[in-house]
């Protein structure tokens, strides 16, 4: 199957911007996007599954199941401005092949909906982080970079791993505008503070009016989801896992 996309609705969108928010360093993108989905009451219009995701199901508190998935949401601007597409999920792909496939599919879908601007989010792992972490930017082109720098970001120096980096690279190839906003983070837990600083720049860029008071709740929800998928693990669990050659039978 590799990637299977199910599209529930093809919304008519006005010059939409894609915001990527998959789990990554510090889970910054994941928290920010979940918060936007909640606050803006975004509508889910597509689901993506991939055979490069984990092969498991996670239970919910009510006995239901959750699978590894990526989702696309949209929300229309109140003010007649640019609309938003939010790329949310509980996993990235496990292989580079799966990552390229996943990013390519998402870009196919959003380009069909008229999207020409992509923003990816992430954390920039540091050993120490000041109370007010710095936000960094890298972009597909000089003009787009200037837009990002105008928000108070510094120029990013380093690698942007995974979907956040790959999507900017692939977007540039397709002549889309793209930038990535990355924030100082310790990186080892869902970083609500880092998310807040990225989000404040993002809402300014997008002219969004979003209440930040419930951001900590989004960070907690993110933590719960990712713990249930075993993506955040204690050291003891990590150790145990290494002892299991075929994790599905012991």
The verdict on 36 binding its own copies (CB under 8 A) reads no
Taking CA atoms, 39 is separated from 42, 86, 212, 213, 235, in Å, by 8, 12, 9, 10, 34
- Residue holding tokens 């909906």? 113
CB of 70 to its own copies, least distance (A): 13
Residue 203's closest CA among 121, 139, 144? 121
The verdict on 31 binding its own copies (CB under 8 A) reads no
C-beta closer to its own copies: residue 82 or 125: 125
Segment near its own copies (CB under 8 A); pick from 13-21, 34-42, 73-81, 142-150: 142-150
C-beta closer to its own copies: residue 21 or 208: 21
The interface with its own copies within residues 54-93 (CB under 8 A) comprises: 54-59, 61-68, 92
The interface with its own copies within residues 148-187 (CB under 8 A) comprises: 148-149, 155-166, 168-170, 172-173, 180, 187
The verdict on 7 binding its own copies (CB under 8 A) reads no
The verdict on 140 binding its own copies (CB under 8 A) reads yes
173-211 burial code (b ≥16 CB/10 A, e <16): eeebbbbbbbbbbbbeebbbbbbbbbbebbbebbebebe
CB of 194 to its own copies, least distance (A): 13
CB of 206 to its own copies, least distance (A): 20
Spatial CB neighbours of 17, under 8 Å, sequence gap ≥ 6:
82, 83, 84, 85, 115, 117, 118, 119, 206
CB of 240 to its own copies, least distance (A): 9
C-beta closer to its own copies: residue 18 or 208: 18
**Per-residue x/- marks for its own copies, 98-137, CB under 8 A?**
-xxx--x--------------------x-----------x
- Long-range Cβ contacts of 77-80 (<8 Å, 24+ apart): 77/14, 77/207, 78/209, 79/207, 80/14
The verdict on 11 binding its own copies (CB under 8 A) reads no
The verdict on 141 binding its own copies (CB under 8 A) reads yes
The correct pick among 21, 31, 52, 84 for binding its own copies (CB under 8 A) is 52
Residues 69 and 93: beta-carbon distance below 8 Å: no
Token pair in block for residue 245: 């050659």
């Amino acid at each position: 199957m590799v990637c299977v996309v199910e599209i529930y609705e093809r919304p008519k969108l006005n010059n939409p911007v894609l915001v990527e928010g998959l789990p990554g360093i510090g889970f910054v993108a994941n928290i920010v996007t979940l918060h936007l989905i909640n606050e803006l009451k975004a509508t889910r219009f597509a689901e993506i599954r991939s055979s490069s995701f984990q092969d498991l199901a996670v239970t919910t508190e009510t006995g239901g199941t959750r699978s590894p998935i990526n989702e696309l949401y949209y929300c229309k601007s109140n003010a007649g401005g640019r609309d938003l597409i939010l790329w949310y999920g509980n996993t990235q792909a496990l292989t580079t092949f799966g990552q390229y496939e996943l990013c390519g599919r998402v870009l196919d879908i959003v380009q069909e909906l008229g999207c020409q601007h992509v923003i990816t989010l992430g954390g920039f792992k540091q050993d120490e982080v000041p109370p007010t972490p710095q936000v960094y930017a890298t972009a597909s082109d000089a003009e787009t970079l200037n837009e990002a720098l105008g928000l108070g970001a510094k120029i990013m120096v380093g690698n942007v791993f995974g979907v956040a980096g790959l999507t900017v690279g692939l977007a540039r190839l397709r002549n889309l505008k793209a930038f990535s906003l990355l924030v100082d983070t310790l990186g080892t837990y869902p970083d609500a503070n880092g998310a807040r600083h990225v989000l404040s720049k993002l809402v300014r860029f997008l002219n969004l009016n979003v209440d930040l008071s419930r951001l900590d709740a989004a960070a907690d929800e993110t933590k719960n989801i990712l713990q249930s998928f075993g993506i955040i693990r204690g050291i003891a669990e990590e150790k145990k896992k290494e002892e299991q050659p075929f994790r599905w039978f012991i």
